[in-house]
Amino acid sequence: MHICKKSRTFAAVILENSVYMSRTEISSLGEFGLIRHLTQGIKTVQPSTQIGIGDDCAVMDFNKGDASQKDARVLMTTDLLLEGIHFNLEYVPLKHLGYKAAVVNFSDIYAMNGTPTQITVSLGISKRFCIEDLEELYSGIRLACERYGVDLVGGDTSASMTGLTISITCLGTANAEDIVYRNGAKEHDLICVTGNLGTAYMGLQLLERERLVAQTLNPNGETPAEALHFEGKEYLLERQLKPEARRDIIEKLREAGIKPTAMMDISDGLSSELLHICQQSNCGCSIYEDKLPIDYQAAVLAEEMNLNIVTCALNGGEDYELLFTCDINDYEKLVPIDDLYIIGHITKPEYGAVLVGRNGEEMMLKAQGWNAFEADNR
CATH number, domain containing residue 319: 3.90.650.10
Give the model confidence (pLDDT) of 257-283 as tens digits: 999 999 999 999 999 999 999 999 999
Residues 297 and 251 in one domain: yes
368 & 238 share domain: yes
User: Which whole number is the average pLDDT over 284-294?
Assistant: 98
Q: Tell me: do 233 and 333 sit in the same domain.
A: yes
Domain total for the chain?
Answer: 2
Lowest mean pLDDT across 154-168, 233-247, 301-315, 341-355: 154-168
pLDDT of residue 101: 97
Q: Is residue 99 domain-shared with residue 236, that is, in the same domain?
A: no
d(CA 231, CA 235): 10
Q: What is the CATH number of the domain that holds 103?
A: 3.30.1330.10
Q: Tell me which of 178, 206, 241 is where a domain ends.
A: 178
Q: Which residues face 340 on adjacent strands? A: 194
Across residues 73-77, what is the average pLDDT? 90
pLDDT in the model for residue 350: 96
**349, 209: one domain:** yes
How far is C-alpha 134 from the chain's CA centre?
A: 24
* Assigned domain for 18 exists: no
Q: Is 25 helix (H, G, I), strand (E, B) or coil?
A: coil
- Asked if residue 199 and residue 80 are part of one domain, the reply reads no
Could you tell me the pTM of the whole model? 0.83
Residue-wise pLDDT tens digits, 327-372: 999 999 999 999 999 999 999 999 999 999 999 999 999 977 545 4
- Where is pLDDT greater, at 226 or 149? 149
Number of neighbouring beta carbons within 10 Å of residue 171: 22
Q: Which domain holds residue 152?
A: 29-178
Q: Are residues 325 and 195 in the same domain?
A: yes
The residues facing 158 across adjacent strands are 124
Residue 64 pLDDT > 80, yes or no? no
Q: Is 55 helix (H, G, I), strand (E, B) or coil?
A: strand
Predicted confidence (pLDDT) per residue in 202-246, tens digit: 999 999 998 888 777 766 655 555 556 788 899 999 999 999 999
